[in-house]
Amino acid sequence: MKNSKEYSKKIQKLLRSLKRRYAKQEKAVYDEPAEALVYAIISEKITHKQAQTAAKKFNEYFVDLNDLRVSRPEEIIEMLGEDTPATREIAAKLKTALRAIFEKYNTVSLQDLKKIGKRPAKEALCRINGTSPFIVDFCMLTAFNGHAIPLTEKMMEMLRNEQLVHPQANQQQIEGFLSRQITAKNGYYFYTLLRQESESDKKKKEKTKKRKTKRKKTTKRK
């Protein structure tokens, strides 16, 4: 990424600031990679808090991952809380990914990927229909103890808006840059801190305030 030294200092400063503001969360660890994949699909398009609530409902409603695989999209959307473009996308991705896993392995499990090494496992995850860079990175981080920083759209938007990464950097470049700045040991910690910050009400209020201020200035000029 361009100007990496400049942005590296900003990321380290951000990390120190976030550590002071948010409590450290216990790392999520999945013995079954398919469960990590399901949670990643759920949490990619909604907030962390919403995803946790939905995951709890999923565990109570569906018997197992195979039950989830054969469920109707309407059932999944109901567990997600409301019918929106985001929840419909989640339902579609879950159905697509779980069907792909079953067709490939004849079971709704990715345990076989733990036997082939991290790099081949990541490549296999990337080939599953319905996955994305965020989903793959979350699985690698929580089910394979890999070195990854999963990024939602909100997280990338925050990084760009606050000029913490190069404005022209794409998702792959940003993820690679962050992985070089944050150690594997702190990968999940940084992910949770950055996600909390990107989803905080304070951030939303600050953005709204900036927009209102900008509108007032524009109105005065006219």
CATH number of the domain encompassing residue 86: 1.10.340.30
**Token reading at 97:** 């990914």
23 — pLDDT class (breaks 50, 70, 90)? confident
- Does residue 207 lie within any of the structural domains? no
* 217: confidence class by pLDDT, cuts 50, 70, 90: low
Token pair 């022209």: residue: 168
Are residues 48 and 112 located together in one domain of the fold? yes
Number of compact structural domains in the chain: 2
Distance of CA 110 to the CA centre of its chain: 19
Whether residue 86 is found in the same domain as residue 131: yes
Q: Which domain holds residue 184?
A: 4-25+149-188
How does residue 7 score in pLDDT terms, banded at 50, 70 and 90? confident
One domain, residues 38 and 139? yes
Are both 136 and 159 inside the same structural domain?
A: no
Same domain for 156 and 131, yes or no, is no
Residue 222 in any domain: the answer is no
Cα 146 from Cα 172, distance rounded (Å): 16
CA distance 33 to 135: 11
Average pLDDT, integer, range 112-136:
95
129 Rama sector, left if φ>0, alpha if ψ -120 to 50, beta otherwise: beta
Given a cut of 80, whether residue 90 has pLDDT beyond it is yes
Contact 166, 56 (CB under 8 A): no
Give pLDDT, residue 118: 94
pLDDT band at 206 (very low <50, low <70, confident <90, very high): low
Could you report the per-residue pLDDT of 133-189, keeping only the tens digit for each?
Answer: 999 999 999 999 999 999 999 999 999 999 999 888 888 899 999 999 999 999 999
How distant is the alpha carbon of residue 163 from its chain centre?
Answer: 20
User: Who wins on pLDDT, 174 or 208?
Assistant: 174
Shared domain check, 137 and 98: yes
Rounded Cα distance, 37 and 101, in Å = 11
pLDDT of 85: 94
CA atoms within 13 A on the CB side of 134: 18
CA-wise closest residue to 196 among 32, 43, 35: 43
Same structural domain for residues 110 and 166?
Answer: no
What pLDDT score does 167 carry?
Answer: 86
In a domain, 170, yes or no: yes
The share of the chain scoring above pLDDT 90, in percent, equals: 75
How far apart (Å, rounded) are the C-alpha atoms in residues 201 and 38? 26
Residues 173 and 71 occupy one common structural domain: no
Same domain assignment for residues 12 and 74: no
pLDDT of 215 > 70? The answer is no
158 with 93, same domain?
Answer: no
Q: Report pLDDT for 168.
A: 85
Picking from 108, 143, 178, the residue at the C-terminal end of a domain is 143
Same domain, 55 and 90: yes
